[in-house]
A and B are shown apart, each in its own frame.
Chain A
Amino acid sequence: MVMEIVCPAGTPAALRAAVKAGAHTVYCGFNDETNARNFPGLNFDRDEMREGVGFAHKHGAKVLVAINTFPRAGDQAIWHRAIDDAHSAGADAVILADPGLLDYAARDHPDLRLHLSVQAAAANADIINYYADAFGVKRVVLPRVLSVPEIAAINAETDVETEVFVFGGLCVMAEGRCSLSSYATGLSPNMNGVCSPASHVEYQDDQGELSAKLGGYTIHRVGKDEPAPYPTLCKGCFSAGDQSGHLFEDPVSLNAEQLIPQLQKAGVTALKIEGRQRSKSYVAQVVRNFRNAVDALEAGQDLPAGMLAGLSEGQATTTGAYKKTWR
């Protein structure tokens, strides 16, 4: 079976662009703190969600609604309403990370298909099968810490479908298990749906150099004419011991396009593209390329090489953990 391409849509326009470009499935979120891309000007209100689902279904595509932050104590109703509204909008599944929310969805909407978000960091077959037994989870988005052989081993031990990230931003910490951002800024992916938020970024002229600060901490400094990378905490410059540099991860993004055949052999059902914050033209181009790749694979042809290199953040890409050179 052809591998499913799961594409990001930060706006209704991006959803339509992704569907027209050949996305099998689109994922999106409501315009509030219930999803992990809670950026200004992004995401869907209730009417837009209903219309988006209608458009996708008319064109034979599916829509997944990400409700993948961890509800704030005292305010769970906001997250419950998001699940109710995704259900009534006709979403094909919701993508959840919080066990309390999975429990709510499984009980109140037994006909709603549940996907486990990468934010749940389910990194082995035991926990994946546990989520399937406890809540009826049908698909898991695997954390970006696993290699291809590890993914194959998981698929051998579970009937839950697996979806893996193949393109876009790359977390080096276990997803949903990181509070670096709230330590520096007070806002975190788990609680607020943002990481290293732009509201806390400051660029400063430092004697001919450009410093990038996050929450007052200087984590990049470049010459005036060099491109200044966005100060994402885990990709910042630091010093420890007698070393300095990108101690956690270089400012690279993920591109696993050439590993698609291996991922298919490893039993992966769906390929996920990161980037709900990206423009519709970017989304359309990435989708088209990945759709061509899986169609070529299905037809027994070779993949085109380097098809997406120019679209990557900072131009530098990595196959991430899939080819684990650091193990």
Chain B
Amino acid sequence: MELTVGANQFFWTADNWSALYDELTTAPVDRVVLGEVVCSKRLPFYQDRIPEAVARLVDAGKEVALTSLALITLKRERKLTAALAEMGVTIEINDLTALAHLPTGADFWVGPLVNVYNEGTLTWLAGLGASRVCLPPELPLASVETLASLGADLGVAIEVWGHGRLPLAISGRCYHARLHKRTKDNCQFACEDDPDGLEVRTLDDQPFMAMNGVQTLSGSYACVDHQVELLTKAGVSALRLSPQSQGFLRVCELYRDRVSGAKPAGSVADEARKLVPDANLSDGFLTGDNGASWSQDIAS
């Protein structure tokens, strides 16, 4: 089982952004997806640092891809997507719009925000040149098993969302701007204050979701610690780890020890809780009744 670092979902300062990819040159991961997946307005703040980060990760032996945006509507965003194809790096599509701009004949990756729910869609994407697909986090284990098996036949590596707040929805509207009573065009980058998203609580003060600009995430941190053996057996090729502001290098190390067999089930969850002390963990999309549930609550 390999480890892939997904695109950072959050808006960090350019220096923190650079520090993440510096750190990942030494992290025990196989590949890294970088670039902006949530909001095109964030990109100018770190865009000029991308080529150097890519070069350093490649030098460190990592496979690298650049992500498309998850929701492409504006002319400027369509141009950005077309420009991705000229960077000479593998592209991970997170909106099917990017298909229209791929360099002819180039292999590409498919990110977790593209709806690959079944054999028909996986086969269609493979025919277009998809070589790696991270399945939507919503999929239950039975779907993962079917698609991983087909992926092996088609020569498409199948990944599953391994760790981090789950991307649940994307919108044309910015909720951070709305919260600050600003319009989207005059958002003043309100999402910058929340490097892991802003927690959204219910009327009973239960942690529930997290807002991240135009994106809505789970409040809980997904963690497949207890499904590693099931996913390995299913033929899943890699776990996807989503950057977080606290202890992300440690998260990578924990999963490396877990998938290599050096540490038992439970080792990642115990440590991950220490990194983000108030965090709830979830693995319900894979094996539970709903996405927010945690298998060990049921077991105990």
Contacts of B85 in A (CB 8 A): none
* Chain B nearest Cβ from A23, distance in angstroms: 29
Among B99, B185, B198, which residue has its beta carbon within 8 angstroms of that of A240?
B198
Among B100, B123, B205, which residue has its beta carbon within 8 angstroms of that of A127?
B100
Asked whether B118 lies within 8 Å of A76 as measured between CB atoms, the reply is yes
Residue of B nearest to A219 (CB): B202
Q: Is A308 part of the binding interface, using a Cβ–Cβ cutoff of 8 Å?
A: no
- CB within 8 Å of A: which B281-300 residues: 284-285, 288-292
Asked whether B169 lies within 8 Å of A177 as measured between CB atoms, the reply is yes
Decide: A126 near B292, CB < 8 A? Known: A172-B173, A178-B168, A238-B200.
Answer: no
Contacts of A182 in B (CB 8 A): 138, 285, 290-291
Q: Tell me the bound Cα distance from A154 to B178 in angstroms.
A: 27
Asked whether B183 lies within 8 Å of A327 as measured between CB atoms, the reply is yes
Asked whether B179 lies within 8 Å of A241 as measured between CB atoms, the reply is yes
Q: Tell me the bound Cα distance from A237 to B118 in angstroms.
A: 34
Residue of B nearest to A103 (CB): B124
Q: Is A121 part of the binding interface, using a Cβ–Cβ cutoff of 8 Å?
A: yes
Contacts of A188 in B (CB 8 A): 138
Contacts of A176 in B (CB 8 A): 115
Contacts of B174 in A (CB 8 A): 326
- Residues 131-155 of A, flagged 1 when their CB comes within 8 A of B and 0 if not, give 0000000000001011000100100
Binding site for A on B (CB under 8 A): 70-73, 75, 77-78, 81, 95-97, 99-101, 113, 115, 117-125, 136-139, 142-143, 146-147, 166, 168-175, 177-179, 183-185, 198-206, 208-209, 211, 216, 218, 284-285, 288-292
Sample (8) of A-B pairs whose CB atoms are under 8 Å apart: A72-B143, A98-B120, A100-B122, A173-B170, A183-B218, A184-B208, A248-B171, A326-B178
Apart from A74-B143, A248-B216, what are 16 other A-B pairs with CB-CB below 8 Å? A71-B117, A73-B139, A76-B118, A76-B119, A99-B120, A174-B71, A177-B115, A179-B137, A182-B138, A183-B292, A186-B284, A211-B203, A218-B204, A220-B203, A243-B179, A327-B184
The 8 closest A-B pairs by CB, nearest first: A100-B120, A145-B172, A183-B291, A100-B121, A70-B117, A186-B290, A73-B146, A73-B143
